[in-house]
Amino acid sequence: MMPSDFSQISGTWNSEIFTSSHATEDLMKQQDLKACYLIEENFNTNYKMLNTLGKGNFSVVKRAFHVPTCTTVAVKILQNNKYTSVTSREARIMKSLSHPNIIKLYHVVETRETTYLVMEYASEGELQDRIIQAGSLEDSEARKIFVQIVHAVQYCHDHHIAHRDIKASNILINHKGNIKLGDFGLATKVVPGQKLAGFCGTLPYCAPELLQAEKYEGLPVDIWSLGVLLFLMVSGSLPFRGNSFVEIKWQIISANFRVPPHVSIDIFNVIVEMLMINPSRRPTIHQIKTRPMIRDSEACLPPNSTQVFPDTRSPSTVRSTRAVTDKPDRNISSCSSQEEFKSVTLTGSSSGDTLEKETVRNTL
């Protein structure tokens, strides 16, 4: 597969608005994660910005070096005047997550004009680049990767979080070869039965209901995107392609796609289930976990996370910090209990059934 085949999936829309020092990463993980309100000068003293890892419509992500702990991190940089509410939502959601297959948020640093999300660095880059390099993934590798993605999404859904932008460029790979789900910029908290409004996501991964100007449930949208992602992993191309927005939209809402004949039948069945036009006919993430493809690949999972983030606050290590909340000035708390992080906290100034493996058309 040629890199140009991915030209249609680089943009993300929202109408609602690598090598690391592994031994010292544990120091970052041992803190009570709070938002540090710093002045720009002090942030730049503690974090040395390196190369750019990626750019989005709303942000830039850079590799950075945390000087006090000699740790390589990823820093997402957002401008406050444009996306303050979106940034606060992303930070709140990420701070609530702790799973071995989800990128960990270490710090949220606010200045007058900019918010920095300091995150775990995945040194092996994006799954998208792995697919481009390989053309398509071998069956065994696809299974190993997808089962980890499913567990990450299950964790999100169990915590009532819809990611809404699952795609190959948001799946990262760490130095151990394990998968990390990242970029929660479009994620939102949902309650059962809640309907969302507004088009968001990346077009070729978008579920049909997103393109039909109707309210939708968040969790089935993620299931559709997982189907697109799995198709891409095993085939090397997207299931819904076209030369314009209208062409891609028509392919999606009609759900016409062709699964390559080399794809294993159990993988084929999972793809077809997830790419049902009617969201009520798509399996839940827990139902996907029961399918043979996932059930037989459980051994590929990394060890369960037993990381506990202690609430060991020490006023002596902090002069002024504030949490990113709807009312950010209400709480003053410590950002760090580790001696190495004292310099970070400084005073701020403001499936089943087998289907025929030819052309598949899912009906309502």
Is the distance from CB of 334 to CB of 317 less than 8 angstroms?
yes
Select from 160, 156, 157 the least CA-distant residue to 191.
160
Is the distance from CB of 125 to CB of 173 less than 8 angstroms?
yes
End-to-end Cα distance, the chain: 32
| Residue 327 assigned ligand-binding role | no
Is 129 tagged catalytic?
Answer: no
Token pair for 290: 């029961």
In the chain, the amino acid numbered 132 is: I
What residues form DSSP beta bridges with 173? Answer: 179
Q: What b/e readout covers 192-220, taking b as 16+ CB neighbours within 10 angstroms?
A: eeeebeeebbbbbbbbbbbbeeeebbbbb
Catalytic residue among 5, 158, 165, 222: 165
Strands 60-66 and 105-110: unpaired
Alpha-carbon span 133 to 126, nearest angstrom: 11
Domains observed in the chain: 16-121+310-344 (3.30.200.20), 127-303 (1.10.510.10)
For the chain, 364 residues long, give each residue's pLDDT as a single digit of tens.
Answer: 444 444 444 455 554 433 334 444 554 544 444 445 555 667 788 899 999 998 877 789 999 999 888 899 999 998 877 666 777 888 899 999 999 999 999 988 888 788 899 999 999 999 999 999 999 999 999 999 999 999 999 999 999 999 999 999 999 999 999 999 999 989 999 998 889 988 888 999 999 999 987 899 999 999 999 999 999 999 999 999 999 999 999 999 999 899 999 999 999 999 999 999 999 999 999 999 999 888 876 665 666 543 332 232 333 222 223 333 233 322 222 233 333 322 232 222 223 333 333 334 443 3
CB atoms within 10 A of CB 273: 21
Select from 5, 119, 136 the least CA-distant residue to 63.
119
Q: Calculate ∠ Cα 324-103-51, nearest 5°.
A: 90
Is the distance from CB of 239 to CB of 257 less than 8 angstroms?
yes
Is the distance from CB of 228 to CB of 259 less than 8 angstroms?
no
Strands 114-119 and 161-162: unpaired
- pTM for the full predicted model: 0.75
